[in-house]
Structure 1
């Protein structure tokens, strides 16, 4: 088959806006020496074909074509099933021109000028790694807070060690309080988890300090615990709490200084000005840029951050800079928009599309909704009760969720849904099925995000309904051991994030970190999905391991598919953006236990070669 008749190449041409037919002919001529001789033309006499090619050759001088850069490499993983592994890629501007061996690409140049760049000669090139679901604002603010978490955090500044039990946590919290310069300075700490660190209340924090505000940000980022000084300083009193919506009021405890899920969303406008000062925001977002580039990320996306133009402008100030090594997309929070504008939801959503600039953009036609609570809070809605009783919490109760979902479905939106528990997933799948039966949509790609606890029957149903999955495989590593004893029990804990079942059923899936819910390191996510080793070193539910190829697609082509961007990114094929991650080893063949340790040399982002700065 000729290159112009190849469906993948034709699709690339449809998405590449060349200004003229002449340029299209030039690209085709360089890509293959037989570009216009195809199986479909067998009825054309050979003489006519030869004459046609000669006529074409006279239309332009190849020396006038722009110069191509050819990058040889040790190996290039393309994720193109027709050509899965090659050793050279040709780049023209910000796009991929051709792939193959160095000799093939040189021979196909056919007079067009080119240069061979040996920078990656000993490296492995993969499609650019994608941070499919991360939170730059939340990441920046937590990473510049006092980190006292259940795991080590490896940061550019060094390793922040874990606190794995109550005594370690209390000692670290006391040290954090003691090292502040004044007795009134705010203390913000992130990483607390009651299963590991024991109970914590307002009175406990009052014993740490009664003179400074203390804000403890739960490991889930879905809860706050604050001391009395913070309540007074930020105007959170009985009158304020009583004025919250019913759901938020029920998920608040003024006596304990504890606000979770809806309650957290209720008090965050009071706490955020103290947490997100201009200096903390700038330092945190600059950390995000360095951190993601160091981990090979070439594109990021946040589904459903805080609904605030002021905060978006603050993020743009750093993330939209022209020299940044990646683009970042944002998907609006439909929960907040629908709650504030129930009768004008779509028109208000469309107003948000102008909030991005430069290297940031709001993603059109996409929206984020929320089903149940956070896994780190053990607040997800589950079919069978937790070991300690109860079935979890809703973020959007089923009626509210259905109303918002219906509005966005009818408007043709792709809907991304935060859902963690199997009962939460039942509610989401019921809603999808109802909408498919009343208003069928082809390729709606509703995304089930996180998917901590699910069941085999739900995997089958997701496949039938056309639901795709964005999974966080880090849950198994960080939580399976603890949740086997406290919360879920062994069977549910070990089978969290059942990627094996999804891959065998053909449910499209991607991997995400939800940073800071997991380290924003795509290779580490791939490692977690392939190995499923817990913090104790055991393998949890071996049959739920993803294949290496499936896991690599999960941070590249699968992630692009979940964002409806697979025509531009996710694999190394002609016509797509030249986004590559440059690695020192091959994640498909290296020892599986070492996937997370593969060094990242740098990236190529839209044709720009960007090595990671080494300290």
Structure 2
């Protein structure tokens, strides 16, 4: 018999009211009140009707006081576990996100990091992340000699902001075994000095990916947990209630379930292991490979990387780069990671096993390749609702979009490039004409397809409102509006951060909109993005993040 003390209380746990409520539900776009019970949405509508149906003696009445309630954000492509590494490494970002404008600035940051970092003290390695040569006054990526000027005793490893190349000092090169006799691997490059043999420290694409595990310290379980908690705080403070971990390493595939079982994860993490690294490992056939979460973790599918980054000039184009990188011929068009013959078996494996496939692609030649191999896989293996995802698609051509629609390939685009590298794309990468239509969200929506937008963190800091602002305004660092026809409206940008990425992850039935029966993943914004001046969207703050009906973050505000 249930005692009075433990009997279920009638009515909702919480009712939100008193401010704009943007439901992201076309059938009922706005509401006056939302009721939550047991982590689910139980009523949405007029304030009087919601109160009459759901207000009980134990119901908490939450007055928004004019602030705006929306669904929780979904980061449609991100590297959650890499953000945990970023949290403990040297910040080499350029303004507005970091201090580095020159190579001497980089050297000064690294020296300061060496003197203060617990990681350097504990593990004897120096890692700096997110250096962007396009923003350096020298307009070049550093070499081993620039890092040797910081230290020749400690190994130093500095990654490019694209996440597709790095530079090592002489000590680090020796540590990973790269010498003048080491050949460049397929799909990558070991850059050389003037003699054509001596490595200058710069490693691109597969050459970089191969040495990455050797450079990252073997963190203790306690250190790893602290790093993950730091990464999670960043996402929560930006209103993300679901985050993708793209290209999850084998080590992180093993470590994340442990933290999940310990209750460390407070938001949902959907992981996509690197198919090349993991292959047909048993974890891909285990219980975590599911459309349902165990706690706050599931494996959503697998990822492959077809080319590099346009800002790092390794993306694979059908036309040459506007200005070829130093040391390359004028017809240089980037670095494909695979031939069709080597890629097809990987895609076939995903389709045969009904694993959702994410494909990192930036250049239009790589998109052509994806279309070819997916078309063949679908004709041979079926799986029509595969929701294969084209991640980034920076240089998607208009004539390629019908094939995406036919094959059901979901375009997860990256309009943050318009601000961070729009000028660089116009002046050096692709030239003014091709650069105009990077991340062509306008074309995609006009075709009738959905799209999501993402941070690709740690490539870019996962600031949710900056992400929305860049998609809406498409303004470069210099103030140029890049591709006005590709701009999203604020409402479309909200869809691209909520319901559409939920669909991308096969989660549209439980997330992405404020509807009865869905999970109470919500956030409160300081202002209404649908009525605020579009130039001020990046100034809107996340005041509170709510996961499954529980508040997990509240921004400190002046009384």
- TM category, shorter: 0.7 to 0.9
**How many Å separate the matches in 1 of 2:486 and 2:156?**
41
Q: Which residue of 2 aligns with 1:528?
A: 470
What is the SS of the residue equivalent to 1:247?
Answer: coil
Per-residue deviation at 1:260? 1.8
**How many Å separate the matches in 1 of 2:109 and 2:9?**
63
**How many Å separate the matches in 1 of 2:69 and 2:78?**
23
Per-residue deviation at 1:337? 2.8
Which runs of structure 2 are paired with 1:147-158 in the superposition (5 Å)?
147-153=91-97
**How many Å separate the matches in 1 of 2:181 and 2:83?**
28
Per-residue deviation at 1:526? 1.1
Q: Which residue of 2 aligns with 1:77?
A: 22
Cα pair 1:251 1:259 within 8 Å, conserved: yes
Q: Which residue of 2 aligns with 1:129?
A: 73
CA RMSD in angstroms comes to 3.0
**How many Å separate the matches in 2 of 1:165 and 1:489?**
24
Q: Which residue of 2 aligns with 1:372?
A: 307
Per-residue deviation at 1:318? 5.2
Distance 1:180 1:440, change over 3 A: closer
> Quick one: which of 385, 408, 414 aligns to 1:443?
385
Q: Deviations over 1:536-559 (max 9, x none)?
A: 122111011012221101110011
Q: Which residue of 1 aligns with 2:125?
A: 186
Which runs of structure 2 are paired with 1:311-390 in the superposition (5 Å)?
311-316=252-257, 322=263, 324-338=265-279, 345=280, 349-351=284-286, 353=288, 359-364=295-300, 366-387=301-322, 388=324, 389=330, 390=332
Q: Deviations over 1:205-226 (max 9, x none)?
A: 2233222221112212222211
Distance 1:238 1:357, change over 3 A: farther
**How many Å separate the matches in 1 of 2:266 and 2:189?**
43
**How many Å separate the matches in 2 of 1:568 and 1:91?**
14
**How many Å separate the matches in 1 of 2:526 and 2:62?**
15
Q: Which residue of 2 aligns with 1:291?
A: 234
Per-residue deviation at 1:438? 3.5
Cα pair 2:189 2:205 within 8 Å, conserved: no
Which runs of structure 2 are paired with 1:406-425 in the superposition (5 Å)?
406-425=348-367
Larger radius of gyration: 1
Q: Deviations over 1:105-163 (max 9, x none)?
A: 13335x9766251243432110111122211221121232111223332xxxxxx33x2
Q: Which residue of 2 aligns with 1:49?
A: none
**How many Å separate the matches in 2 of 1:346 and 1:180?**
36
Q: Which residue of 1 aligns with 2:4?
A: none
Q: Deviations over 1:275-304 (max 9, x none)?
A: x56665444322212211111111112122
Q: Which residue of 1 aligns with 2:457?
A: 515
TM-score (norm 1): 0.80
Distance 1:146 1:428, change over 3 A: same
Tell me whether 276-285 or 203-212 shows the greater mean CA deviation: 276-285
Q: Deviations over 1:516-545 (max 9, x none)?
A: 111212222111100001111221110110
> Quick one: which of 145, 164, 168 aligns to 2:101?
164
Q: Which residue of 2 aligns with 1:496?
A: 438
Q: Deviations over 1:209-246 (max 9, x none)?
A: 222221112212222211121233x342449946x9x4
What is the SS of the residue equivalent to 2:227?
Answer: helix
Per-residue deviation at 1:408? 1.2
Distance 1:397 1:194, change over 3 A: farther
Distance 1:469 1:235, change over 3 A: closer
Q: 1:270 and 2:214 equivalent? A: yes
What is the SS of the residue equivalent to 2:34?
Answer: strand
Number of residues of Structure 1 aligned to a counterpart in Structure 2: 532
What is the SS of the residue equivalent to 2:59?
Answer: strand
**How many Å separate the matches in 2 of 1:447 and 1:237?**
35
**How many Å separate the matches in 2 of 1:348 and 1:318?**
16
Per-residue deviation at 1:512? 0.8
Cα pair 1:248 1:265 within 8 Å, conserved: no
TM-score (norm 2): 0.87
Distance 1:305 1:165, change over 3 A: same
**How many Å separate the matches in 1 of 2:354 and 2:345?**
15
Per-residue deviation at 1:429? 1.1
Q: Deviations over 1:152-197 (max 9, x none)?
A: 32xxxxxx33x23455445545665677899995332112233333
Per-residue deviation at 1:249? 7.2
Cα pair 1:530 1:547 within 8 Å, conserved: yes
Tell me whether 480-489 or 116-125 shows the greater mean CA deviation: 116-125
Per-residue deviation at 1:439? 4.0
Distance 1:395 1:280, change over 3 A: farther
**How many Å separate the matches in 2 of 1:83 and 1:204?**
58
Distance 1:263 1:352, change over 3 A: farther
Q: Which residue of 2 aligns with 1:100?
A: 45
